[in-house]
Amino acid sequence: MTDVHRAFLFTTAMTFNEQLNREKYVQLNSQVKDIVIVGGGTAGWLTAGLLASRLSSRVQSGKLNITLCESPDVPTIGVGEGSWPTLRSTLQSIGVTETDFIRQCNVSFKQGSRFVNWQHDRPSQYDHPFDVPQQASQGAEAQHWLSTQSQEPFSQAYCLQTELANNNLAPKLITTPEFTGFANYGYHLDAALFAEFLREHCIQHLQVKHVLSNVKQVEQDENGDITCLHLAVPSQDNSNHPDHINGDLFVDCTGFRALLLGDTLGVCNTQVDDVLFANNAIATQLPYVEQNSPIASFTESTAQDNSWIWDIGLPNRRGIGYVYSDRYCDEQDAHRTLVKFLQKTQQNTDTLSYKQIHFTPGYKQQFWKNNCVAIGLSAGFIEPLEASALVLVEMSANMLAEQLPNTRSCMDVIAKRFNQTFTYRWQRIIDFLKLHYVLSRRSSAFWQVNRAQSSVPDSLKELLALWQHKVPDMNDFPARDEVFQAASYQFVLYGAGFKSKLLSTPDKNLLEAAEQQFLSIQGYTSQLTNKTISNRDLLSKIYRYGLQKR
């Protein structure tokens, strides 16, 4: 080979490599302009709404496009019907009115959770209300309650919501402006109606593009990034139905299947079935016997021999389901247990339909890989206790909106941060849910194995060791946005009968503040229960008149 040939080949190779490098540079530094959400339901449409509203200036200027592609063949699971108070600010931020939401989504007010017969085999109950005692972060109320050896339930001593729930009372009046109340509240809702409500709002008001189609193939580049979704075009559709969607960032909201993050990118689950044993649920919808039946203020969770039953009151029905472990209970036994529970208030259960759901408790080892983020059931599912699924969707979508990478080159740094944040959150949720089981003294095999030390995470063991001699406070929960904060642990610990033996004398000023709150709650509760109205009466007024806008 002559020197001329060598020079030509070298120059050609350099030119080719430079071209590749230039293309790679352009790819890494081009702006993230097209976000594609795959999967609808509550997770998909809530994510779309939060992204489109929080990034509205970019969407309206055409610098950012948000497309949601959902299958016409996959219905919303529609089991989880409980939300947290965070949903109020979420709905406000995406621009819907509370009146429209309540009227269109079969909504009632949720003020917390009630745990029936969890403490032991005898009748008992304790509450985890949404109202937070004023000094909860410092543990003042818990220290006051322990030091006075009060016989009054902890939640009732420092929070008015137990009394409101005992009387099925609402957290606000018809004259109270939208999204505000004299008591903290979230919602019970119909998940299928909520998804439809969000879809309509996102399409009509937030410029979210909607594609109704099945994904038949996912295309990736040489680095594994998803570049394109190839769609199944209906044979009868002669319109401009797209046969593919290109994107810069993909959000997987495809539920348990995890089509993008799981099937395509190969991210596996971190299974936690050695910590939390429930892996099945059987659910039904029970009409009220009387049209004017009371609507409960709390989600009620009633312990059974092989786990627990949820009971959620909506305006026109109750949503009821039995969560259980198939290690201790088969499907037929679960059905019999649920029917027995239903027959306490409804003799005729023969006409009811039941939905069976199997799940493996766990969460993804990565929630964000390459240019794909999983939100909702595709990111993980533990069990319905304490209704954390929806708030995780809100947190995930908000963090994605806040830290949306401008270019592909900075995506990996943000993905690492996202993964660290949500791994921590899932682990803390597992700790908190496990706490409910660890504190129970029920005697059946299911409950005994839940108390076994081998099933308790080390992180929870450490906290329980600390709380032998101190109350939970903000120092035990270092993250900026903890899912469950000190007050939640206090309500469950002391509601379930745990007793911290305080070795040091509590701060006098904190005790005095807690004493004042105790006295004011007692007085305020009696006044409030006299002037407020029932959940059903308030909802009737909202249907008729609507709430005042802020």
pLDDT digits (tens, 9 = 90+) for 444-487: 999 999 999 999 999 999 999 999 999 999 999 988 889 999 99
Residues in the chain: 550
Flag whether 42 is marked binding: yes
Question: What pLDDT score was predicted for residue 308?
Answer: 99
pLDDT at 184: 98
Quick check: is 258 in a domain?
yes
Rounded Cα distance between 322 and 334, Å, is 7
Residue 44 makes CB contacts below 8 A (sequence gap 6+) with: 37, 38, 68, 70, 195, 251, 253, 376
**Number of Cβ atoms within 10 Å of the Cβ of 545:** 11
Based on C-alpha coordinates, what's the Rg of the chain? 26
Residues taking part in catalysis: 110
- Are 249 and 306 found together in one domain? no
Q: How many domains does the chain have?
A: 3
Determine if residue 40 is labeled as part of a ligand binding site: yes
Domain of residue 56, CATH code: 3.50.50.60
Please identify, among 427, 458, 482, the residue that sits at the C-terminal boundary of a domain: 427
- Three-state SS at 289: coil
pLDDT at residue 84, rounded to an integer: 97
β-strand partners of 269: 364
| Residues 385-412, mean pLDDT to the nearest whole number | 97
Please check whether residues 206 and 269 belong to one and the same domain.
yes
Cα distance between residue 308 and residue 436, in whole Å: 11
In a domain, 532, yes or no: yes
- Note the pLDDT of residue 20: 44
- Does residue 51 form part of some domain? yes
* pLDDT at residue 155 is higher than 80: yes
CA distances from 155 to 262, 491, 492 (A): 42, 6, 9
Give the tokens for residue 368. 């964000």
73, pLDDT greater than 50:
yes
In a domain, 474, yes or no: yes
Residues 411 and 370 occupy one common structural domain: yes
What is the predicted pLDDT for the residue at 25? Answer: 47
Note the pLDDT of residue 435: 99
Q: Count Cβ atoms within 10 A of the Cβ of residue 505 and give its class: 0-12 exposed, 13-18 middle, 19 or more buried.
A: exposed
Would residue 92 count as lying in a domain? no
**23-27, 129-133, 512-516, range with the lowest pLDDT:** 23-27
Residue 200 shares a structural domain with residue 180: no
pLDDT of 259 strictly over 80: yes
- Whether the pTM exceeds 0.85: the reply is yes
DSSP-assigned states of every residue in 167-196: TTB-SS-TTSPTT--SS--EEE--HHHHHH
**Strand arrangement of the beta sheet that strand 226-232 belongs to:** 214-220, 226-232, 244-246
Nearest in space to 175 (alpha carbons), one of 537, 529, 542, 534:
542
Q: Which residue has the tokens 């005994």?
A: 448
Mean pLDDT for 167-189 is 97
Residues 164 and 269 in one domain: no
Percent of the chain scoring above 90 in pLDDT: 82
pLDDT at 136: 93
Backbone torsions φ then ψ of 381, nearest 5 degrees: -155, 135
CB atoms within 10 A of CB 140: 25
**Is 300 part of any domain?**
yes
Q: Are residues 60 and 117 in the same domain?
A: no
Q: How far apart are CA 468 and CA 102, in angstroms?
A: 44
Q: What tokens does 234 get?
A: 């209906």
H helical segments located in 149-267: 154-158, 161-166, 191-205
Residue 433 lies in a domain: no
What is the band of 317 on the pLDDT scale with cuts at 50, 70, 90? very high
Single residue among 358, 386, 416 that ends a domain in this structure: 358
End-to-end CA distance of the chain: 82
| 239 band by pLDDT with thresholds 50, 70 and 90 | low
Q: Residue 129 belongs to what H/E stretch?
A: strand 125-129
Pair 345, 288 in one domain: yes
80-129 confidence digits (pLDDT tens): 589 999 999 999 999 999 999 999 999 999 999 999 999 999 999 999 99
Is 513 among the annotated ligand-binding positions? Answer: no
Residue found under tokens 């899932």: 426
Find out whether 377 is annotated in a ligand binding site.
Answer: yes
β-bridge pairing 65-70 and 34-38: parallel
Strand 244-246 versus strand 226-232 pairing type: antiparallel
Question: Tens digit of pLDDT for each residue in 52-69?
Answer: 999 999 999 999 999 999
What is the model's pLDDT at position 503? 85
Residue 25 falls within a domain, yes or no?
no
Question: 358, 385, 414: which is the final residue of a domain?
Answer: 358
Q: Say whether both 268 and 196 belong to one domain.
A: yes
| Residue 11: pLDDT over 70 | no
Same structural domain, 197 and 60: yes
| In the predicted structure, residue 78 carries a pLDDT above the cut 90 | no
Q: Is the pLDDT of residue 17 over 80?
A: no
Residue 41 labelled as part of a binding site: yes
pLDDT at 18: 56
Could you write out the DSSP letters of every residue in 72-104? TT--------B--THHHHHHHHHT--HHHHHHH
Sequence-ordered list of residues with C-beta below 8 angstroms from that of 128, at least 6 positions apart, any chain: 112, 113, 114, 115, 155, 386, 488, 491, 492, 495
pLDDT over 60 (residue 24): no
154 and 258 housed in the same domain: no
Domain membership of residue 309 as a residue range: 280-358
Structure token pair of residue 280: 């099945």
Confidence of residue 237 (pLDDT cuts 50, 70, 90): low
One domain, residues 262 and 379 = yes
The span from the CA of 486 to the CA of 298, in Å, is 20
Q: How confident is the model at residue 526 (pLDDT cuts 50, 70, 90)?
A: confident
Q: Are residues 141 and 253 in the same domain?
A: no
Residue 325 in 3-state DSSP?
coil
43 in a known ligand binding site? yes
Q: Which of 193-202, 249-258, 315-324, 502-511 has the lowest mean pLDDT?
A: 502-511
